[in-house]
Amino acid sequence: MTHILTSPDGTPASRFAFGTMQFGGRADAAQSAEIFAACRTAGITHFDTAWVYTQGHSEEILGRLIKGERDQLIIASKVGYTGGAGAQNMQAQFDTSRARLQLDCIDILYLHRFDAQTDLRETLGWFAARKEAGDIRYIGLSNFAAWQVMKAQMLGAELGFSTDILQPMYSLVKRQAEVEILPMCTDQNIAIAPYSPLGGGLLTGKYTTGGTGRLSEDARYNSRYGQAWMHETASELSALADSLGVSPATLAVAWAAAHPAAPMPITSGRSAEQIAPSLAALDFQMDAALYDQIEALSPRPAPATDRLEEQELGA
């Protein structure tokens, strides 16, 4: 698997990443600084942002916060969520991202989502050129299906490179990645940095006690996590966490990190207090029995071949 390292000292990336989607939005500059400090105290070295986040404020705030220790950090951003994956659009967004972050080189650059309207050769050729020029160090893909990643791998082989890291959605209530994406990454030596290990906040347990947040305020998140079984899973996880004397958020993040494919979950939040239970997962010991107990709280997705009887038999 690709080992994501800091530059120039080659320190491995932290086991978790931190997503700064809230910086400049739900977290103002002062709150963002407190969050960043808490992450660094916990040992986080990998920070994730995107051109599209909070109208650019996320990148601007992160750029100011990393001054003075840039060489000890992995900074990731994304382009192409809007405007397509053509070379001209990606270059314009990339240049803007570098200016906001005050960086010549962005360690990891992701294509934010697959663009069926643009020839993938053009997209990958642009990424290859940026890596060759030293503008980026690792090539990433986000929100890609397994077949789309393998198409990129095939075309990348013609261009002399392969995908370094993938960013899929993955949590106890969003387990589709287990079917093909995580095994594919293991087979193809692609590092994995999954986002939303807390299921948009559902797995923190706050909604089981009448709390509010993105799931109650954002129609997109409500639709994504609105199924009744997901809320039942969240309630059962909270009950298990109570019995163990830990936060359900700690269990949720630790469980996502414990998958055999060794993913690096991207945690997030809008205050230092809110992210503390997620950061606590860095030191939480998840043994096999507890992993299996948590796994049983949600439905296992069907195998790609739909041979359900073989899954049940462990084949």
| Per-residue confidence (pLDDT) for residue 234, from 0 to 100 | 96
Q: How far is CA 37 from CA 6, 33, 125, in A?
A: 18, 6, 37
User: What's the pTM value of the predicted model, to 2 decimals?
Assistant: 0.94
Q: What is the mean pLDDT of residues 134-141?
A: 97
- Between 84 and 310, the more confident residue is 84
Q: What is the mean pLDDT of residues 130-156?
A: 97
| Residue-averaged pLDDT of the chain | 94
pLDDT band at 300 (very low <50, low <70, confident <90, very high): very high
Q: Which of 9-13, 40-44, 299-303, 308-312 has the highest mean pLDDT?
A: 40-44
pLDDT tops 60 at residue 315: no
Q: Assess whether 53 carries a catalytic annotation.
A: yes
What percentage of the chain carries pLDDT values higher than 90?
83
Please tell me which residue in 53, 110, 170, 207 is annotated as part of the active site: 53
pLDDT band at 30 (very low <50, low <70, confident <90, very high): very high
- Amino acid code (one letter) for 133: A
Buried b (16+ CB within 10 A) or exposed e, 231-248: bebbbbbbebbeeeebbb
Express each pLDDT in 162-211 by its tens digit: 999 999 999 999 999 999 999 999 999 999 999 999 999 999 988 777 66
